[in-house]
């Protein structure tokens, strides 16, 4: 398997969850450094990760030659600069969502990645839930049939306290609201199974908290495969749930509703006939689920670094989600249906934010 890969985690709020995930894979990764401009946070994280050093500047991370992967968990508005700095230093990047704030920026990341010879892996950790992986496996095995409709619900709760962190709720800092920051995972799960959308119509509004960005959204999508999908997302639901449902000709598949674990089991897969059931059972004999969540993504990333294959989530995957966001915001703002893909001369190519 080779020596563990030296990794540094930068930004230590959600970054703590990344550190926990690396600790679950000691044969694959070694946390060499933790970094936060908040010295106290960095120090506490280093104590919980024996063998790591606490640093306060990304430049110090970039200067070290015992770090192969820099894992960015900094606020979204900083991602593009930080990715460029890390690639320039000759290291691989793992970066939290949203990767960057426009199609122009994600295309820039793609160019920087290609010229650096290093890899950029955006985070979409919900992909690796065992329930979603089971459905993906059945689709890829060809036993699901064609898709008729899908529905996606993201009903979470964010209160005033959440917005005490200054960048949240602002277009400049968070780059968007419930669509960009929260439903982006559910959107990725939809397109991971179904593929891209072809045309979208969306409405967004701000009703839950007094913030700049949207906290409620509803959208109607026609996917490129001809199927239809709905998406509804809010940060104002007292009961928090996430739910996906896919209605194929040979089976329907519905997730559980655990808000932050809905991609994991239990999912309910209902065959349309005894023949469909037999095909599902055959296909499941070849199902080999891996780790879930961040652990699952990092484990697959280690495989890809060693083999030279693409990372389990690519910049193109992040681009697909950002293109969907761009289309949804344009549709909502202009009250029109928007066709995808969006060309580079589209007015929103350089960003979906209103400023």
Phi/psi of residue 88, nearest 5 degrees: -60, -35
Q: Show the DSSP H helices in 145-216 as ranges.
A: 171-174, 184-194
Among 21, 32, 46, 73, binds ligand NAD (CB under 6 A): 73
Among 165, 172, 278, 316, binds ligand NAD (CB under 6 A): 165
321 close to 191: Cβ distance less than 8 angstroms: yes
Q: Rounded to whole angstroms, how far apart are CA atoms 349 and 184?
A: 18
Among 26, 27, 37, 159, binds ligand NAD (CB under 6 A): 37
Q: Would you say 125 or 204 has its CB closer to ligand NAD?
A: 125
Among 49, 71, 74, 191, binds ligand NAD (CB under 6 A): 74
Q: Would you say 96 or 113 has its CB closer to ligand NAD?
A: 96
Q: Show the DSSP H helices in 211-314 as ranges.
A: 274-284, 293-307
Would you count residue 75 as binding ligand NAD (CB under 6 A)? yes
Q: Would you say 91 or 97 has its CB closer to ligand NAD?
A: 97
12 close to 96: Cβ distance less than 8 angstroms: no
264 close to 130: Cβ distance less than 8 angstroms: yes
Smallest separation, CB 174 to ligand NAD (Å):
7
Would you count residue 181 as binding ligand NAD (CB under 6 A)? yes
Stretch that binds ligand NAD, among 32-40, 111-119, 262-270, 301-309 (CB under 6 A): 32-40
Residue 311 tokens, joined: 């990372």
What's the start-to-end Cα distance of the chain, in Å?
Answer: 48
215 close to 168: Cβ distance less than 8 angstroms: no
Q: Rounded to whole angstroms, how far apart are CA atoms 134 and 243?
A: 16
Among 123, 147, 155, 211, binds ligand NAD (CB under 6 A): 123
Question: x/- binding map, residues 226-245, to ligand NAD, per CB under 6 A?
Answer: --------------------
Give contact residues for ligand NAD (rule: CB under 6 A).
10-14, 35-38, 41, 58, 73-76, 78, 96-97, 123, 125, 165, 181
């Amino acid at each position: 398997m080779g020596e563990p890969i030296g990794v540094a985690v930068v930004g230590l709020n959600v970054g703590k969850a990344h550190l926990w995930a690396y600790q679950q894979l000691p044969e694959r990764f070694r946390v060499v450094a933790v970094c936060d401009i908040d010295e106290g946070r960095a120090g506490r994280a280093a104590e919980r990760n024996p063998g790591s050093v606490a640093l306060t500047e990304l430049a110090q991370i970039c200067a070290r030659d015992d770090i192969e992967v820099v894992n960015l968990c900094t606020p979204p508005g900083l991602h593009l600069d930080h990715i460029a700095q890390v690639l320039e230093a000759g290291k691989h990047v793992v970066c939290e969502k949203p990767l960057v704030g426009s199609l122009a920026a994600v295309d820039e990341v793609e160019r920087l990645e290609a010229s650096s010879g290093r890899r950029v892996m955006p985070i979409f950790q919900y992909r690796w839930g065992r329930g979603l992986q089971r459905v993906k496996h059945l689709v890829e095995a060809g036993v699901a049939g064609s898709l008729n409709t899908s529905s996606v619900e993201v009903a979470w709760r964010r209160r005033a306290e959440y917005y005490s962190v200054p960048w949240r709720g602002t277009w400049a800092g968070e780059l968007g609201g419930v669509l960009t920051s929260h439903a982006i995972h559910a959107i990725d799960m939809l397109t991971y199974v179904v593929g891209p959308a072809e045309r979208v119509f969306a409405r967004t509004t701000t009703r839950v908290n007094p913030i700049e960005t949207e906290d409620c959204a509803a959208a109607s999508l026609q996917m490129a495969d001809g199927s239809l999908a709905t998406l509804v997302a809010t940060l104002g639901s007292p009961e928090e749930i996430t739910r996906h449902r896919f209605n194929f000709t040979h089976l329907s598949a519905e997730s559980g509703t655990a808000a932050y674990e809905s991609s994991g089991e239990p999912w309910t897969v209902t065959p349309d006939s005894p023949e469909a059931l037999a095909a599902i059972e055959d296909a499941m004999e070849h199902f080999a689920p891996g780790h879930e969540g961040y652990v699952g993504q990092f484990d697959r990333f280690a495989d890809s670094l060693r083999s030279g294959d693409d990372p389990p989530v690519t910049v193109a995957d992040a681009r697909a989600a950002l293109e969907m966001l761009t289309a949804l915001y344009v549709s909502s703002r202009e009250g029109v249906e928007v066709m995808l893909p969006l060309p580079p001369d589209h007015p929103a190519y350089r960003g979906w934010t209103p400023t």
